Chains A and B, each alone.
Chain A
Amino acid sequence: MTASATTKVRLDEPYHRPLLIEGAEDLASVTNRVCGVVERPKPPRAWYIAITISGSMTLMLGAMVVYLISTGVGVWGNNAPAFWGWDIVNFVFWVGIAHAGTLISAILFLLRQKWRTSINRAAEAMTLFAVCCAGMYPAVHVGRIWVAYWLFPVPNQMQMWPNFRSPLLWDVFAVSTYATVSALFWFMGLVPDLATLRDRATTKLKRVLYGFFALGWRGSARHWQRFERAYLLLAALATPLVLSVHSVVSFDFAVSQVSGWHTTIFPPYFVAGAIFSGFAMVVTVMVPARELFGLKELVTLRHLENMNKVILATGSMVGLAYATEFFIAWYGGNPYERFTFVNRAFGPYAWAYWIMIFCNVVVPQFFWSKRIRTNLWLMVVVAILVNVGMWFERFVIIVTSLARTYLPSSWGYFKPTWVDVCTFAGTIGLFFTLFLLFCRFLPMVAIAEVKTVLPAAHAHKENGHE
């Protein structure tokens, strides 16, 4: 390769840029660095502190769920007229966060964005954990959780079948399919790395456990060939899937006749919001994780900056969606629709609405500045605010529309109970507990994939390819 060719390639092929993987990494050092996190005898002290806090919160979640099931849904604030409250708000919030992982794994893979290799594993894991938090809500909010299987088309003694024409059932299928496919995708990518951990294991227990889940992977070229093809196919399948999931979630609202919900903009608007919140969560989690576990050379500032650019782009899309909603509420000439939107911005929930606008529309605009989007502290602050804003977006959509519907005599004001608050805090605890366990016991970075973007992965001789 001549010098001029190298310069040219730098612009077109990101994996030749020095920033993608920093330092003089070779195959063995990548293995050592990622496996070193898992293999060190003790995790850093911050890990213990973090898991103590998040573990306690998870226990609280367990207590709240037991209290809810043993007492009834009345322990939550949901009541006439707002029959959907924090349960659905939090469900949509967590499902939204779950979109970043598959987006990074699948869409960026299809678009050949090689920078994804350093962050896709952690983002996919985050997806799974967020789906756990999200999936919990529909399961427990049905009240009689022991008949939750009625959601699925299981033959039963009532000889009834679920209504397949209902968006709520579409939701069951979309979210469970998404959870399953994300788990398969994640596990498949993990198998070669589990084999690496198996082959480096120093104790018999580790060798047996990692070996069991590595399924006997030995890096055979015949295996890699099918593996890569399966990975490509899964990415191609997961791409429309990830877009469909939040579209279907938005159908829960859009197919109803509640003003403020009954709009065709919902599917793309929800998907943009989901990617927005998901990337914000990846940044929130990855910045401390890369500091804590010494992965700064693999997860570089360039990765974080790229994610911040995605946050800026999707945040602007979300802002555009808010404006479009308002425009259509006026332009559509429907007095109920117009009332709903004026009520959102200036009614009893105006405080929530303006928090949402500030966090989702105003705050991400700071990322136009390279100084801010490459500053670790500031990017975390922005990412956290974006997550707050996205929570309020779901709250505003669900609660303001329900609290003031067509019948003024039944208007009300939704108030959460302490159980609502503790349950939500508990899901945050569950999310971080799972993530911390993941960091400790599984390779946080896709070792085999990162190796493919190293120079050593490419044949250099003229006859390297046929």
Chain B
Amino acid sequence: MSEAQGALHSLVAEFDDVDGVSAAARAVRDAGYKAFDVYSPFPIHGIERSMGLRATRLPWLVLACGLTGTVLALFFQWWTNGHDYAFKISGKPLFGVPANIPITFEFTVLLAAFGAFFGMFVLNRLPEHHNPLFENERFRRATDDGFFLAIEARDAQFHERATRELLQSLTKHTVVACHESGESRALPVWVRASMAGAGALALVPLAAIVAARYRDSTQAPFHLIKDMDSQTRYRAQAANPFFADGRAQRPDVAGTVEFDRFRTDPALLTGRAGEAFVDQIPLSVTAELMQRGRTRFAVYCTPCHGGAGYGDGLVAQRAATLQEQAFVPPASLHDPLVRARPAGQIFDTIRNGVRSMPAYGRQMSIEDSWAIVAFVRALQRSQNASVEDVPDAERGRLGTR
């Protein structure tokens, strides 16, 4: 026993066997004591009845934890896979109970096990690393082969002399008094200080993350593991001695179809000025452009519209032969309505398609599309010309027949 003794904590009686301590527990219970406990190296069968203990609430706690697990797991699986990030896998339903059973089961067991494990220790008020009973040398046998019964001083019926007499009548060992330790049960100052210090230090990384989250920076993000963020490749605008011109970024190969080059002329890009279509081809119409238009027209337009633009290409002819009801015949480019269309509208039709005509904007460049417009214009002129349109010098070669 330590020198500095505090208040009386309990009176402790020692027993040699299960029978002795069980009988004593019954006697103490019958004497009306409540705040007493039996200590033994293993659970004694039936001691809770001898002591008059009620059944523990632990099973209800475990049930509640388990049900919480079931509900949480089901809800979470529905919310993640069926709602927040819904994606179809192998045609399975987004939320179907059979596929969610395994995880629901595992989570139910996990939370119920937490309930049993932590619930047991919390209800037992453990961990409690210090208890006045530990001051007693003999009491260490409680985890070996000793059996003890302690009546605590806080019991309403506790009376030092009478209680001692009761206990002494039950055991042949001497009943000993157990005192609260005179020392403070608080942890030493240095332990508390270092715990507080460690706690404060643990907050530093968190604070740094929070601070970084809400602050702008010109620095590149810091990557602990590079993954694919950092690769051995040249960036745009960088120099590369491998090529003769020293540029890492290579110019477009001839004939590249552009999608998103930075150009601003709306008439050139869309054939429109504001809402209205332009009637002028925004490129200078040269013999080369006309020639380019002729070949592009032959490639892309002839199959449906025909060589002369009457809407009698091979596709249209075959559809007519088969009497395809759903086929929308291609327009004749010489229809007065089509002829009246501004150049910008023809360009728009080529780029974006109309009715069953597909869009060609992804297959040919802006320039080629305008070249076709120029050729179509020439075609329209050629099929709707009068003698006056023929230059005087050439007119003789026409009308003589």
Binding site for B on A (CB under 8 A): 26-28, 31, 144, 146, 153, 159-167, 169-170, 173-174, 177, 180-181, 184-185, 188, 192, 195-196, 198-200, 211-212, 215-230, 233-234, 237-238, 240-241, 244, 248, 251, 447-449, 451-452, 456-461, 463-466
Q: Is the CB of A173 within 8 A of B103?
A: yes
- Shortest A205–chain B CB gap in Å is 16
User: Which bracket fits the contact residues of B?
Assistant: 35 or more
**Which of B140-148, B265-273, B364-372 interfaces with chain A?**
B140-148
- Shortest A110–chain B CB gap in Å is 14
A-B CB contact pairs (8 Å), 29 listed: A144-B225, A146-B225, A163-B87, A165-B81, A192-B41, A199-B144, A211-B129, A215-B121, A215-B128, A218-B139, A221-B43, A221-B51, A222-B37, A222-B53, A224-B42, A224-B47, A228-B43, A229-B59, A229-B120, A237-B113, A241-B106, A244-B102, A244-B105, A251-B102, A451-B41, A456-B18, A458-B18, A464-B46, A466-B26
**Which of B130-138, B192-200, B202-210, B232-240 interfaces with chain A?**
B130-138
- State which of A184, A248, A447, A456 has its C-beta within 8 Å of the C-beta of B17: A456
Q: How far does the alpha carbon of A225 sit from the alpha carbon of B50 in the complex, in Å?
A: 12
Q: Is the CB of B19 within 8 A of A460?
A: yes
**B113: which A residues are within 8 A, CB to CB?**
180-181, 184-185, 234, 237-238
- State which of B42, B96, B106 has its C-beta within 8 Å of the C-beta of A457: B42
- State which of A161, A448, A459 has its C-beta within 8 Å of the C-beta of B46: A459
Which residues of B, 81-105, contact A by the 8 Å Cβ criterion?
A: 81, 84-85, 87, 89, 92, 96, 99-100, 102-103, 105
Q: Is the CB of B77 within 8 A of A164?
A: yes
Q: How far does the alpha carbon of A465 sit from the alpha carbon of B145 in the complex, in Å?
A: 21
Residue of A nearest to B98 (CB): A165
Q: Is the CB of A170 within 8 A of B102?
A: yes
The list of the 3 closest CB pairs from A to B, nearest first, reads: A27-B145, A215-B127, A230-B120
Q: A144-B227, A196-B143, A221-B39 are in contact. Are A226 and B102 (CB under 8 A)?
A: no
- Secondary structure at chain B's binding surface: helix, strand, loop or mixed? helix
- Say whether B123 faces chain A, with CB atoms less than 8 Å apart: yes
- Shortest B382–chain A CB gap in Å is 59
Binary flags per residue of B353-364, CB closer than 8 Å to A gives 1, else 0: 000000000000
- Say whether B44 faces chain A, with CB atoms less than 8 Å apart: yes
Q: A153-B80, A161-B85, A173-B103 are in contact. Are A226 and B46 (CB under 8 A)?
A: no
Q: Is the CB of A163 within 8 A of B81?
A: yes
Q: How far does the alpha carbon of A215 sit from the alpha carbon of B144 in the complex, in Å?
A: 17
Q: How far does the alpha carbon of A153 sit from the alpha carbon of B48 in the complex, in Å?
A: 44
Q: Is the CB of B102 within 8 A of A28?
A: no
- Say whether B49 faces chain A, with CB atoms less than 8 Å apart: yes
**A461: which B residues are within 8 A, CB to CB?**
19, 23
**A447: which B residues are within 8 A, CB to CB?**
41
Q: How far does the alpha carbon of A164 sit from the alpha carbon of B81 in the complex, in Å?
A: 7
Residue of B nearest to A213 (CB): B127
- Shortest A312–chain B CB gap in Å is 30
Q: Is the CB of A165 within 8 A of B99?
A: yes
Q: Is the CB of B144 within 8 A of A196?
A: yes
**B40: which A residues are within 8 A, CB to CB?**
219, 221, 224
- Shortest B83–chain A CB gap in Å is 10
**B25: which A residues are within 8 A, CB to CB?**
221
Q: Given A221-B40, A234-B116, output 14 extra A-B contacts at Cβ < 8 Å.
A: A26-B145, A177-B110, A218-B39, A219-B143, A224-B42, A229-B58, A229-B59, A230-B58, A230-B117, A233-B116, A237-B109, A241-B106, A452-B45, A460-B19
- State which of B19, B39, B66 has its C-beta within 8 Å of the C-beta of A459: B19
Residue of B nearest to A174 (CB): B106
- Say whether B62 faces chain A, with CB atoms less than 8 Å apart: yes
Q: A159-B85, A226-B56, A244-B102 are in contact. Are A217 and B126 (CB under 8 A)?
A: yes
- Secondary structure at chain A's binding surface: helix, strand, loop or mixed? helix
Q: Is the CB of B44 within 8 A of A226?
A: no
Q: Is the CB of A221 within 8 A of B225?
A: no
From B42, B131, B225, name the one whose CB has the most chain A CB atoms within 10 angstroms.
B42
- Shortest A161–chain B CB gap in Å is 4
Q: How far does the alpha carbon of A227 sit from the alpha carbon of B58 in the complex, in Å?
A: 10
**B300: which A residues are within 8 A, CB to CB?**
none
From A165, A196, A461, A463, name the one whose CB has the most chain B CB atoms within 10 angstroms.
A165
Q: Is the CB of B50 within 8 A of A466?
A: yes
Residue of A nearest to B225 (CB): A146
Q: How far does the alpha carbon of A399 sit from the alpha carbon of B99 in the complex, in Å?
A: 27
- State which of A146, A200, A452 has its C-beta within 8 Å of the C-beta of B140: A200
**B227: which A residues are within 8 A, CB to CB?**
144
Q: Is the CB of A153 within 8 A of B128?
A: no
Q: Is the CB of A222 within 8 A of B81?
A: no
Residue of B nearest to A188 (CB): B117
Q: Is the CB of B142 within 8 A of A219?
A: yes
Q: Is the CB of B42 within 8 A of A448?
A: yes
Q: How far does the alpha carbon of A408 sit from the alpha carbon of B201 in the complex, in Å?
A: 61
- Shortest B398–chain A CB gap in Å is 69
- Shortest B253–chain A CB gap in Å is 35
- Shortest A204–chain B CB gap in Å is 14
From B22, B102, B127, B134, name the one whose CB has the most chain A CB atoms within 10 angstroms.
B102
Q: How far does the alpha carbon of A212 sit from the alpha carbon of B126 in the complex, in Å?
A: 11
**B307: which A residues are within 8 A, CB to CB?**
none
- Shortest B214–chain A CB gap in Å is 16
Q: Is the CB of B100 within 8 A of A164?
A: yes
